[in-house]
Chains A and B, each alone.
Chain A
């Protein structure tokens, strides 16, 4: 399997522009997570989906952030309008349904999208 695929790997944009980050989870995984990593705040969960349905979006910073999962193989995280404080590495991760206890908890991460907002 190719693993979790994220694009773009790097994005540099100007304040006020719309940014769309994309994620393709591992085939067969039913949960998808978006995390943000910064030096100041570490790794923060933004939102996660189970079976394409958003379960908890309490980590989404504000209304400028939105996430969708239109099908089991694709998710987007959109920031509109972007601001310099949104600069971070954004990770997508997927996870299979727990199979007994053995697989429970393992998240498979993509390589992240580094966003710089000037």
Chain B
């Protein structure tokens, strides 16, 4: 079984500053995907960024980037130039790579990020 751990229940950052959210996971799989999802007050979960475990290069999406350390089983999210709209709960998630039907996500407990004006 896979587990995903987010050790920071809450974080805050000043607008325009940079913040890093931590995530570690435990798995015996070698091929998998990692994700960061964002849940704003509207409740809808939105995919922020995805990383394939077979790729050594860290994924980047505009102001969002990850630091993926496969050996350490660490997957942190960096948000640069934080904006008020980034205020949300952020979830780290894991999915086994499978050609079959097992494609469910395992989520961490979340980190509530507040961007301060």
Contact = CB atoms under 8 A, between A and B. Distances in A.
- Asked if A and B bind, the verdict is yes
A42 B109 contact: yes
Q: Is the interface of B mostly helix, strand, loop or mixed?
A: loop
Interface stretch (A16-24, A63-71, A78-86, A109-117): A109-117
Interface string A17-46: 000000000000001010000000011010
Given A42-B109, A101-B52, A111 B44 contact: yes
B105 A104 contact: no
Given A42-B109, A50-B101, A112-B43, 18 more contacts: A33-B104, A42-B107, A42-B110, A43-B91, A43-B107, A45-B104, A45-B105, A45-B106, A48-B103, A91-B45, A95-B103, A104-B97, A105-B105, A107-B47, A107-B105, A109-B44, A111-B42, A112-B44
A55 B98 CA distance: 14
Interface in B87-117: 91, 95, 97, 101-110
B64 interface: no
Give the interface size class of chain A: 20 to 34
A14 interface: no
Task: Give the one of A42, A50, A98, A105 with max B CB within 10 A.
Answer: A105
Contact of B45 (A48, A50, A93): A93
B46 to A, nearest CB: 8
Contact of B43 (A89, A101, A106): A89
A41 B105 CA distance: 15
Contacts of A98: 103
A40 to B, nearest CB: 10
Contacts of B46: 109
B78 to A, nearest CB: 21
A98 B101 CA distance: 10
Contacts of B42: 111
Contact of B101 (A55, A91, A107): A55
Contacts of A33: 104-105
